[in-house]
Structure 1
């Protein structure tokens, strides 16, 4: 697959990743938020901002495809920003709880006995996310030994392995939070959950439609060859 078809496939991939990030934010809002933040202004606007971030992520990452040929470095910078920023925003509640352990905070959140079981899993997820970012941006180890990692061990494989492991740790962490903190956080209604996912999906699909329209194959030339 080449040309516009290749770019379209990547755009669909970016849209799916953006929706995955929104799903992570919904899970964190329902089960992983620090208890002292529940009902705060940040908690109230957390999911709406995550919906906006999801749409912006799709837009910026898809736009990077149009810069791929002429400005590859800027293209990669836009693509990296498109996913790093939403991840950092979505993970603020988890970062707060994990750092609280290092800082020795205690109380009714995840810094005492409540929520402790999920924090090692959240930490492993964050470590895998960092390794995913480093493998994507550094192109190691193939940069150190060109040709030696063409089939096995190159950075793109490391990128996917770290991403899969990170997702596994994230799902396990949210499952532990859901079991340990049940009844302590207000669980959003189905309408709120599917409404947020629907708005994020609609925004991303609209962007994909614009990209597909701009990436239509050029019609074959009618000029006769001589």
Structure 2
């Protein structure tokens, strides 16, 4: 009778340094797992299981919301909806890519780096999608047709390349200079976020100064920004596991909370953008040009190609690691006693 055994788990001192996480002492998978081992591990409790599911399940939620929009918006011929099409594609892509990265990152040292290269690329493209929708629907009235408005997407494409390049490079210095690596990786994502959010900051400050009325969109934007800042804090601080190493190995560590806050923030962002899209349509259509193919789907295609090129360059540049060095650190393979 065929029996299926779940992969063996290891403690932190049993895996190579590149696989270790701050404050996580147990629940590690074998660093040369097979693809089947990786998939099976998502159905057992490891220190990655919640990371996998907190982005895999939201992918289906965003796909469901996308399908609902497909039945109400004309994505094929209505150019005004093209920025939303780009955005919905990318908020479905980034959690799915992250889930896959966490699932298959223990196949080898090189696979781990490449998996997260794609994860970073998907996040940088998500930042580009945010910029495209903000330029089309969320730009302050007084900024419409300004120099910044006209070049917002172009700058965002450059930001996405900076994000992918810097975050991928940070993995090359991670072992020798972990603090510098963390700073580089954090900055890689903070810079596009701050740039994308400049129109939102201005609109929120304008309301604080009393120059705007109540807005459902601004309320959702505020929730999104709150969860975005919380996401950044959790990513950079490694709390709570840093305060109690080993206590949050399986449930409750910062990366799991980071995933949850990111998804909740994206939900509020989606609601805010949808509200701006519908409530400001008449005014925007009369005061600015309709979104162009080049500035929406064209910018996305360019961003995808350039980011894939960057990922390819960094993947080729990865140092070769002998297979024996990884397997020796853990002893027997998961299928062995």
- Answer whether TM exceeds 0.5 for this pair: yes
- 1:92 paired residue number: 198
Q: Distance in 2 between matches of 1:131 and 1:219?
A: 39
Aligned residues between the structures: 214
Cα shift at 1:91: 0.5
Cα shift at 1:142: 1.4
- 1:46 paired residue number: 152
Equivalent residues in 2 for 1:32-71, closer than 5 Å: 32-71=138-177
Residues 109 and 321, structure 2, Cα contact 8 Å, conserved in 1: no
Cα shift at 1:168: 0.3
Equivalent residues in 2 for 1:124-203, closer than 5 Å: 124-185=223-284, 186=288, 187-203=290-306
- 2:318 paired residue number: 215
| Gap regions ≥5 residues in structure 2 | 1-105, 325-337
| Gap regions ≥5 residues in structure 1 | 106-110, 222-226
Residues 153 and 295, structure 2, Cα contact 8 Å, conserved in 1: no
Cα RMSD (Å) of the superposition? 1.5
- Please say if 1:112 is aligned against 2:213: yes
Q: Distance in 2 between matches of 1:41 and 1:191?
A: 18
Q: Distance in 1 between matches of 2:217 and 2:295?
A: 25
- 2:46 paired residue number: none
- 2:123 paired residue number: 17
TM-score normalized by the length of structure 1: 0.90
- 1:6 paired residue number: 112
Q: Provide Cα deviations, 1:39-93, integer angstroms capped at 9, x if missing partner.
A: 1111111111001000111000000010111111111110000000100000100
Q: Distance in 1 between matches of 2:110 and 2:118?
A: 12
Cα shift at 1:216: 6.1
TM-score normalized by the length of structure 2: 0.61
